[in-house]
Amino acid sequence: MNTLQHDKYDAVIFDLDGVITDTARYHYLAWMRLANTQGVHFDEEFNEQLKGIDRMGSLERILMAATRQYSLAEKLALAEEKNAQYVSLISNMTPDDLLPGAVQALDSCRAAGMKVGLASVSKNAFTVLDKLGIMDKFDYVVDAAKLARGKPDPEIFLKAACALDALPARCLGVEDAVAGVASIKAAGMTAVGVGERSVLAQADFVIPGLACFDLNNY
149 is in an annotated binding site: no
pLDDT in tens, the chain (218 residues): 444 445 789 999 999 999 999 887 898 999 999 999 999 999 999 988 887 788 899 999 999 999 999 999 999 999 999 999 999 999 989 999 999 999 999 999 999 999 999 999 988 999 999 999 999 999 999 999 999 998 999 999 999 999 999 999 999 999 999 999 999 999 999 999 999 999 999 999 999 999 999 999 99
54 is in an annotated binding site: yes
Taking only the tens place, the pLDDT of each residue in 106-134 is: 999 999 999 999 999 988 999 999 999 99
Query: What pLDDT is recorded for position 212?
Result: 97
53 is in an annotated binding site: yes
Residue 97 among the catalytic residues? no
Catalytic choice (15, 97, 107, 165): 15
183 is in an annotated binding site: no
Query: What pLDDT is recorded for position 6?
Result: 54
**What is the Cα–Cα distance from 176 to 181, expressed in whole angstroms?**
7
Question: pTM of the predicted model, to two decimals?
Answer: 0.83
159 is in an annotated binding site: no
Query: What pLDDT is recorded for position 5?
Result: 45
Contact 148, 155 (CB under 8 A): yes
**What is the Cα–Cα distance from 214 to 218, expressed in whole angstroms?**
8
Catalytic choice (17, 22, 96, 136): 17
Greatest Cα pair distance, the chain, in angstroms, is 56
Please, where are the H alpha helices in the chain? 24-37, 44-48, 55-63, 72-90, 102-111, 125-132, 155-163, 178-186
Domains of the chain and any CATH numbers: 11-22+97-217 (3.40.50.1000), 24-90 (1.10.150.240)
Query: What pLDDT is recorded for position 52?
Result: 74
Residue 43 among the catalytic residues? no
How far from 25 is each of 35, 89, 183, 201, CA to CA, in Å? 15, 10, 23, 24
If we measure between CA atoms, which residue out of 129, 126, 108, 190 comes closest to residue 157?
190
151 is in an annotated binding site: yes
Q: Tell me how long the chain is.
A: 218
Query: What pLDDT is recorded for position 188?
Result: 98
Query: What pLDDT is recorded for position 175?
Result: 97
CA 58: distance to chain centroid? Answer: 14
**What is the Cα–Cα distance from 172 to 184, expressed in whole angstroms?**
8
